[in-house]
Amino acid sequence: MEESSNSGFIRVVSFDTMTNKDLPDYSFTLRAKSPGYKRTRRSRTFMVATDLANYSEYALNWTTDTMMEDGDELIVLRVVTLEMNNKKRDGLLQLEEKESRKKANELMEKIIENSHKSDKKISVVIEFVIGKVQETIQRTISMYQPSLLIVGTRGLSEIRGMFLGSISKYCLQHSPVPVTVVRSEDQIRKSAFDSLNINFSKKKSLAI
């Protein structure tokens, strides 16, 4: 079913297996495209893996503001892992199904609003999946063949002595496509400040 938003974007739910209990994974796909969107030979596909945290939102905004141009496509992947082998499975699925639909629509509204401000003609696909994170990432990459995978992180890189999040690290090590890890300036400043505090504490301890 198609519907138009206030900004003119055409929205459609293209795939929905949230209620099919016979499948190993449950997914909800929401699509939208701006008026006048056309895919060309120069069009690129960018995929953003998100957990809806602030650093993931920053990575998503960075992608739409910095990387995307007219004719490009954005794939946003959110994976939720639930323990399926327990008696509460059906109840958890119903709860997550409702939350996934709500969050997917809220996320789409934000992307549409930002795109409308910049007047970019883009296509957006939001994939909300209940399943195994690593397998879902690989399957989604295989399906959409993105030019670049973008992930946010709350930490510093290993090179500077701190570890990336487990998903960011997994993507860097196993993604078949190039990966960009994005951190906000606030995170960089906070990490630098924390590092200074640690060094200061060490020096103070040595002095004592």
Burial of 203: CB neighbours in 10 Å, binned 0-12, 13-18, 19+: exposed
Residues 151, 146: Cα–Cα separation, whole Å: 13
Residues 30, 101: Cα–Cα separation, whole Å: 9
For the entire predicted model, the pTM comes to 0.77
What is the structure's pLDDT at 71? 95
What is the structure's pLDDT at 7? 54
What is the structure's pLDDT at 179? 95
What is the structure's pLDDT at 205? 43
**Alpha helical stretches, state H, the chain:** 54-62, 89-118, 133-144, 166-174, 185-207
DSSP character for 16? E
Q: Backbone phi, then psi, for 151, in 5-degree steps? A: -135, 150
What is the structure's pLDDT at 40? 94
Residues 77, 100: Cα–Cα separation, whole Å: 12
Residues 146, 32: Cα–Cα separation, whole Å: 17
Can you list the residues of the chain whose pLDDT is less than 70? 1-8, 12-25, 82-90, 155-165, 185-208
Read off the pLDDT of residues 73-107 as tens digits, 9 standing for 90 and up. 999 999 887 665 566 666 777 777 788 888 988 99
Could you tell me which residues come within 8 angstroms of residue 182 by beta carbon, excluding any fewer than 6 positions away? 55, 58, 59, 62, 63, 150, 151, 152, 153
What is the structure's pLDDT at 115? 81
Give me the domains of the chain, ranges plus CATH numbers: 22-206 (3.40.50.620)
Which tokens belong to 82? 């639930």
